[in-house]
């Protein structure tokens, strides 16, 4: 990926993920004292950019009021990111998952994307309850399929998910 393209992607992701960074393992925790909101996301921006260039890359996102969670969040967002030369998931973006070989039901997914110079950054997202994310974090193997593309959470993805759930637990 070219330097200009990488810089543009970093800027786009920074806008999506928010302000300052406080790393907690493979996740980013960003507190905005002006709005009194904390954003928690995984993986870190640099890793997300480099991985999304070659494979569908899962990321988790949520926010809460204050610097520390006082209650479990009702909704989390799981988004799969991918950099392509043209639209691949615009018309077909259903997400299905298996946790340890068993179907893992999800809500309907949504597609979003950004067009850049010679590429598109596609995002396929689905809302997940905290309880479902916690259940998924206990799995040994998480596999996913978006349209006809199959993948699996890496060991790092699973560790990030576990740390993400831990960071949100009051």
Q: Which two tokens stand for residue 63?
A: 């926010």
Which residues of the chain register pLDDT less than 50? Answer: 7, 11, 14-25
Residue pointed to by tokens 């691949």? 88
Give 141: exposed, middle or buried? Use CB within 10 Å, 0-12, 13-18, 19+: exposed
pLDDT of residue 37: 95
pLDDT of residue 50: 85
pLDDT of residue 26: 79
pLDDT of residue 106: 96
Angle (nearest 5°) at CA 26 between 20 and 28 = 20
For residue 159, what are the contacts with CB-CB under 8 A and spacing of at least 6? 25, 26
Residue pointed to by tokens 């009051």? 170
> For residues 13 and 26, what is the distance between their CA atoms, to the nearest angstrom?
16
> pTM value?
0.82
């Amino acid at each position: 990926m070219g330097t200009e393209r990488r810089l543009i992607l970093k800027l786009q992701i920074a806008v999506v993920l928010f302000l300052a960074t406080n790393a907690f393992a493979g996740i980013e925790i960003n507190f905005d004292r002006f709005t009194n909101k904390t954003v928690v996301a995984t993986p870190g921006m640099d890793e997300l950019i480099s991985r999304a260039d070659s494979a569908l890359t899962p990321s988790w996102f949520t926010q809460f009021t204050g610097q520390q969670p006082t209650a479990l969040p009702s909704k989390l967002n799981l988004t799969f990111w991918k950099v392509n030369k043209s639209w691949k998931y615009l018309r077909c973006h259903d997400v299905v998952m298996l946790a340890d070989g068993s179907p893992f039901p999800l809500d309907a997914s949504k597609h979003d994307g950004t067009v850049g110079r010679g590429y598109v950054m596609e995002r396929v997202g689905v809302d997940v309850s905290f309880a479902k994310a916690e259940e998924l974090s206990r799995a040994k193997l998480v596999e996913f399929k978006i349209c006809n593309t199959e993948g699996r959470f890496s060991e790092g993805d699973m560790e990030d998910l576990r740390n993400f759930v831990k960071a949100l637990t009051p």
